């Protein structure tokens, strides 16, 4: 009898341990799960957008961009959660004055588009297409025009202080602009192939963009290249990050408007200057 009770208690213990391990596994793997809300009208949706513009890309006259759009819902209390669309919802965008085909929305974690930049400036625009009470509807997610000129970073020569080099650039804001643009630069040194071709890299601080078109501004946020080798090759890479659209309406559950609950658009531009490092002599 005792042996049976012992066996039963052991089996029960193993069962409880298995349940706990299973619960932990579910908890660790179930963060921000996709959900299929009972409605996907704009007032229930929170949208996050990242526009990453690479002005060095070779597939467009002025580079190209990658646009990533992610939808979550305010119908649950712990956002963000990826939305599973089940009623034929779509997204349609306008880039470079060319409208895309409607993009079916489903259960993807995000939706990505590639834009070849054939002109400057260009407009980034996306609409949400859905049906409400049997009627096709459209609601604008975001719309902005990028800076009218390329970032075009240039190393300021001659280098007089390797501990704090300067980089000039063309300022520019997207339209509209929700918050000031910030700039940052990284200096890279390519080691010779005989040394494995590795790269040394230093990144400066972030500062608010200054100046106005067409005058060049100067970035002076502590790029220290004192350890670089004079005569070596490398690059200066600059990024400008702006927020053309950011709002949170905190819509109530019974709001039936076409205003999205929240939209957050981050627009980043990167460009580089290939350089040969010529440092002042220490002799």
The CATH number given to whatever domain includes residue 127 is 2.60.40
| 107: in domain | yes
- Indicate whether 119 and 206 sit together in one domain: no
Residue 88 placed within a domain: yes
Q: What is the per-residue pLDDT for 183? A: 97
Question: Do the domain assignments include residue 187?
Answer: yes
* Count of structural domains, the chain: 2
Dist CA 162 CA 167 (whole Å): 12
**pLDDT tens by residue, 48-57:** 999 999 999 9
Q: Is the pLDDT of residue 107 over 60?
A: yes
Query: Do 179 and 203 share a structural domain?
Result: yes
Listed range (73-87, 187-201, 254-268) with the worst mean pLDDT:
187-201
Cα 65 from Cα 68, distance rounded (Å): 10
In a domain, 1, yes or no: no
Whether the per-residue pLDDT at 9 is higher than 70: the answer is no
Structural domain of 121: 42-147+242-268
Let me know whether 252 and 220 are in one domain: no
Residue 20, in any domain of the structure: no
**One domain for residues 119 and 198:** no
Q: Are residues 164 and 236 both part of a single domain?
A: yes
Question: Are both 131 and 258 inside the same structural domain?
Answer: yes
User: Residue 202 falls within a domain, yes or no?
Assistant: yes
Q: Is residue 6 part of a domain?
A: no
Higher pLDDT, 90 or 13: 90
Looking at the fold, whether 88 and 219 belong to one and the same domain comes out as no
Q: Would the pTM count as exceeding 0.75? A: yes
**Is 258 a domain residue?**
yes
Is 84 in the same domain as 167? no
110 & 180 share domain: no
Q: What are phi and psi of 48, to 5 degrees?
A: -115, 130
Confidence of residue 281 (pLDDT cuts 50, 70, 90): confident
User: What integer is the mean pLDDT of 25-53?
Assistant: 78
Which string of b and e fits 266-279 if b means at least 16 CB within 10 Å?
bbbbbbbbebebeb
pLDDT greater than 60 at residue 182: yes
Output the pLDDT for position 193.
57
The distance from CA 48 to its chain's CA centroid, rounded to whole angstroms, is 9
Please tell me the distance from the alpha carbon of residue 18 to that of residue 202, in angstroms, as a whole number.
Answer: 49
Q: With 0-12 CB in 10 A as exposed, 13-18 as middle and 19+ as buried, what is 24? A: exposed
Residue 69 and residue 166 in one domain? no
pLDDT score, position 29: 38
Q: How confident is the model at residue 195 (pLDDT cuts 50, 70, 90)?
A: low
158 and 104, same structural domain? no
**133 and 197 in a common domain:** no
């Amino acid at each position: 009898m005792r042996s049976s009770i012992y066996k039963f208690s052991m089996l029960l213990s193993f069962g409880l341990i298995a349940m706990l391990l299973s619960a932990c596994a579910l908890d660790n793997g179930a963060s921000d799960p996709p959900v299929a809300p009972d409605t996907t009208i704009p007032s229930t949706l929170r949208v996050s957008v990242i526009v990453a513009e690479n002005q060095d890309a070779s597939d467009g006259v002025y580079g190209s961009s990658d646009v990533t759009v992610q939808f979550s819902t305010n119908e649950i209390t712990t956002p963000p959660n990826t939305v599973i669309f089940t009623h034929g919802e779509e997204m349609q965008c306008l880039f470079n004055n060319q409208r895309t085909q409607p993009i079916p929305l489903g259960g993807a974690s995000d939706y990505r588009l590639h834009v070849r930049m054939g002109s400057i400036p260009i407009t980034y625009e996306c609409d949400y297409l859905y049906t409400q009470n049997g009627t096709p509807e459209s609601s604008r997610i975001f719309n902005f025009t990028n800076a009218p000129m390329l970032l075009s970073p240039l190393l300021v020569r001659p280098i007089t202080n390797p501990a704090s080099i300067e980089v000039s650039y063309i300022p520019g804001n997207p339209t509209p602009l929700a918050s000031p643009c910030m700039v940052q630069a990284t200096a890279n040194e390519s080691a010779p192939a005989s040394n494995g071709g590795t790269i040394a890299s230093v990144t400066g601080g972030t500062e608010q963009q200054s100046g106005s078109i067409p005058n060049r501004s100067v970035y002076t946020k502590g790029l220290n290249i004192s350890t670089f080798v004079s005569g070596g090759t490398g690059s200066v890479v600059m990024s400008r990050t702006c927020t053309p659209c950011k709002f949170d309406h905190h819509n109530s559950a019974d709001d039936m408007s076409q205003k999205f609950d929240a939209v957050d658009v981050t627009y980043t531009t990167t460009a580089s200057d290939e350089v040969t490092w010529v440092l002042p002599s220490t002799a």
